[in-house]
Structure 1
Amino acid sequence: MSTLMQEEDDGHQGLGRATLLRALVELEQINPDGCVVLRAIRDQNRVITDFEFIFSNDVESMKLVQPGLVVGRRLSEAVPPAMNGRFAIFCQVVETRQPVKSEVYYPHCWFRSTVMPFLDGIIVRFQDVTALVRDELERKARLEREQSSRQEAEALVRNQAGQLQAAQEKLVQSGKLMVAGQLATGVGHEINNPLSFVTGNLHVALEQLGALSQELPPPSAERLRELTHALEDARKGAERIRTIVKELRTLARSSETHTGPVDVGAALEFSLSMAMPHIRHRAQVVRRLERVPRVLGNESRLGQVLLNLLINAAQAIPEGDATHHAITLSTRVEGSQVVIEVRDTGKGMSAEVLARIFEPFFTTKPPGEGTGLGLPISRDIIREMGGELRVQSELGRGSSFQVVLPVLDETMTPVVAPPVVKQQAPPRRRVLIIDDEPSIGSMMKRVLGRNHEVKVVHSGREALALLSADPGFDRVFCDLMMGDMTGMDLHAELARRQPDYLPRFIFMTGGAFTDRARAFLADASVTSLDKPFEPVTLREMVERLPPGGKGPDSR
């Protein structure tokens, strides 16, 4: 009886399923979305083991999802593994009666899938959202490109801003050096004029005292020698002042870019003398200098680099323990290159710091003590000279910087000693001195007056009148910068009136601090003499006749 009733119920349910399925077919045939109905297949324990396709509409999306789908086939037979992986989801919907939504990707197309319970199975609807997804993906890609472009632009702006700031710092540095150059030249001119007659007069006094000490009895000569030693110390002090002024002017010219042969040893000694106030209370200086060829570069800019390296080396060493620390300077030849090395026994650098020391504005110094531009600028200067700046460092052991520059001369020119010539009395010359500083004229007359006829005038106009009336001067020393008439103006006037006089002229300068003066001295036809000068140089210039100049036999 129960079996008969079960069969009757199954018949009613089958009729109901058939009716629903027919209604679904009529509805879904006009639906643009894909639709498939699957019936759950259970085992004897009512566990779902598979699904059977009982309906699929024939829209375009279903052809993409499952081409050639055959109603009556099972899920495990009819669909690819990607679809078969959704078996668990299908079972979940059947058992829980809760729909599940997801997105399914097939090659070149996207579907939005909705799985809903239907009788003892499921309905799966597929909505083709390829166009929507592509639009969204394109929108996201466009946003990513825009963001990437914005980030690249921001990075470019930051980089260019950094480069601009570095360039501005270089300009500021060049401006400071230019101002320093103008100041050093102007102050140097004012110092060199009085320094000229100080050193000259000291030289004359020492010469005369030396001769006098030979004529006096021993007690008086001994007292005279003490006076001579005092004057000699004064002369050395004056010489030191002259060296300092010269070095300041050399350093201030580091903004100039012209190149030429550079004596590496001289550049290193110059930089060391400027850095010694920073070094002497921190470290001993050890020199290991080989004789090396000249390099092609700019002496003042190379001096700027070496000065920066020396000051950095000093600042890496603590104060007050100079006996236990050293800064070692060495020069050597490696192949076709000259290597200048500055090595210190300071605190050294970690690998992280070493990797960044040439970055503009990177510094480990306290705020206000460093701009972080010294090493980047130094490297740029050396690269402009065709060289490179190397560095090695070990934390706690010290650092070594090597300036590597190409050799200018492949072979060293041997130094030939000048032939020994028997000293003869110099020929007597007529010398004219033109300087608006009376003490300089007096000093020069003392230096030259024993062997030559010396005339001193104190203005350019007075000299012009004298030269017009007297063409017989063998040598003329003329100050470059005078109040009433400059040496340049006198030169121009003589070029018009008495051009034959010009080869006899030597223009004295304590520092050319105007563009016109620098251009004038750069003229190859102009002979110049820097103040303060050595008396021996002054005498040699008088005794050596200029090309086409006069001599005693020509008067």
Structure 2
Amino acid sequence: MRLLLSLLPLLLPLWLLLSATAVAALPAASASEQPVPQPVRYGVLASFPPFQIWPQDGVPGGADLEIVGEMARAAGLVLQPVRYTDYRQLEADLAAGRIQLASSMARSAERELQLRFTPPYAQFQLALLTRAEQPSGALLPDLAGRSIAVVNGYASQAQADRLFPLASRVVVGSPREGIEAVRTGRADTLLESLPVLVDIIEREQIRGLSVARRIDAPSGRLHLAVPATQPALAQRLAEAVRNYPPLRVDSLVEAWSVRAPDSRPQALQLSPEDTAQLAAWPAPVVGLVGRDAPFASLNAEGQPEGLSVDMLRGVLQRLGKAPRAWLALTPEQVPAALAAGRVDVLVGADEGAESASQLRFVGPFIEYPTVLIGRPESGAFDLVQMYGRRLALPPGSAARPYVESRYPGVRIVDCPALEACLAAVRQDEADATLADVVSTMVAMARQPRADLQVIGAEAQLRRFHSLALPERHAAMVPLFKRALDVAIDQDMPQLKNRWFSRSVQADVHKALLRRYGPWAAAVLALLGALWWLHSRRLWAEVRRTQAAQQAAERVGTEKARLAAFLAHEVRNSLHSVIAGAELAQETQGAAAANTASAPAPSNAARLAEAARSTLRLLNNLIDRDRLDAGRLRLHTEPTRLMPLLQAVAREMAPAAELAGLQLRLQGPQPDPRRQVDALRLQQVLRNLLSNAVKYGAATPGTAPAEVELAVLPADPLAPGTVVMEVRDRGRGVAPADVPGLFEPYGAAHRDTASAGLGLPISRELMRLMGGELTLQARPGGGTVVRISLQAEPLPEAPAPAPVRALHVLVVEDAEVLALLLARAFEQRGHRVEVAATVAQARLRLAAGGIDLLLSDLHLPDGSGSELLAWARAELPAPAPWLLAMTADIDTEAAALEGALVRAVLQKTGDAAALAERALREVSA
């Protein structure tokens, strides 16, 4: 490999020359046909083996160069490597866009703010590196007082912050510098990628170090990264990553890695030096710390037993040693025993900062999580919720420094051991205690405590079991580590099965069963009988409730159907009344034109206004229900505002005349087409003008009685904002009463008949259209209601082609409205026939010759939608245009548009506008 790297500077220019010659020899046509690869500046670290290697004055190499190069070719890219010696500079240049690609990047929330990542193309473990004489791999928050080297800017730095929040830091610039910091004692541990550490250690033959632990973490997933401003490049590379074979990644990483010897051999191999060292070491005295079943405790005969005891025996056996004696110690007796040299090995000792100066820990060989134990009613599930509460902990607990530093609001109560801590919680001297899950289960099995339970867990804290040697035996630590690795691989499954599968305190359980079993059986039988009786009554009540609920739902459904039917029929009747009144007005207007006197408001005008007022109230009630249920939908179309406003003004003019008011209209200038829901906007304007007419009678001393509908000039900076105002000179509204006007069923003037629906519904309709409605007092008396909505001007559409004379079939059971529709179509040059039922319409359609079918959806002998579906499926070509009309465009009616008919039109009482809308749909 070194020979190949030394020859690369000589071979690379030759390869480039041959490539240039070959490219020059290709025909010009082929060069023009092949796509030109996109050049991409690719950041490469000078020393990040085995992934990225670029010696000074050398050529780049490493597994990433081959992997990314093959992915780039698949994505149509050509790499331009850029050498970096500082990782943070590489990341900064990538975020700024000075380079376009980097590899071996770990994904994090902070980086995602500036970079885009591909899916991971490789997954590797992290490793905790220590010196061989301090091989502890316990993931304690403070690392038992030891320091950790972190590579500045690397993803492993975030993992170190998460796993070891209380450990002191030694910041280094590269993994190689971190290894050197551990080797020289400047730092005690290093957390970094396992392949990187193994490659550097084996390549440079660095001795005296040990991989104490391997960790699976998200930072072990390697991604390609590009600047956030390059989404297309990220997409191309992501596709290349998904198509890249994973086995190819493994083979390339293995090819560029220096193979490390197996760290866990099947059997312990001792060198002559190891044998001599063991021969000089006397048989050890083992200290048994505490009483921690099933790990390390004394049985009834006073002999040591437990998983930790058996693990130590296995380690000593592989070293050719046996315990000389066992010495039972309490945690408080350990320092004195170590100082006197009375023990040579400890089992059951907890690793912590206070013991780091006296002991060297080897392991851990087993670990498990820590749980929070308390009373069921405590309401705390983790340490965050223990703020201001009492937590019972032994003085030597490994969790104590973590709690004191990270959760200072938790009050710690001293207790000598777990049993005492549990007693403190039961006696309300503490609110909870922390203990490992195994010790907790053993304690609960030994003495059941119904008033205590596991109420939460603390993921950051774990219990570790290790072996410990005094400082005077530090030279034996590497041998113990090697023997422990073999013992873990070969003995741990059997030890777990032996110590975790057998019953704990089986004799206690049997005694409890014999004593309380009969009573418990009797109580259970009684409870079972009571439950059976209760269940029968409960099921009977459930069946009665379900039957009543189903009956209520049927009644509700029938009521809703009846309400919909009545609403449709009342609307049809009101439309007929309005249409008839307008027809009578036209007749009276023609007669009045022959007289010289000014026409007075006619009974027909009063009748039309009364019908419109009733129709507005009905529409508001129905829309109130739909808004509450979220079923109201908008139907927008390109519309000019002036015709829309003129139609509303014509409709409201008779009401204003009856009230002695003058209605003035100020339209938009200019009036481009805008995408709006014309019917809903007209509904809002009708409500506002109706209020203005109702309350707009001039007060004494004010300006002449008039109502204004004005469109304000457009703002050049916001041409899409349309603002309209409805102004009156009536009695006005006090500022304190304005909020109540927008509450459903609220009204400012209780002496005037009002349902209190118009303003709340109008504001909700405007908000549904993306606008707003406000009300304020008008200077000089009266009110001003302003509405605004967003409707961008649309480009002018070409003039529609003139519609040829059509043969129209109107299917409508309201006789007056059908007559006015027929008249409106005839005035526009079309021939019209009218049918009042589905049967009549089918007969006429079957005869042929109909160009446009306009049908109501609710007919006396059937559904208009069924008639339209029949016409669509059965009529021969050329089929007529199909349009539907209804007084109530609900969700079901709107669903017909596009699927069955060209459009669904809403009946408003203005037959001419309805006919004009139908002809626009046909000509569109």
TM class by smaller structure? 0.3 to 0.5
Q: TM-score, normalised by structure 1?
A: 0.40
Q: Which has the larger radius of gyration?
A: 1
More relative contact order in 1 or in 2 (CA 8 Å, sep 6+)?
1
Q: TM-score, normalised by structure 2?
A: 0.27
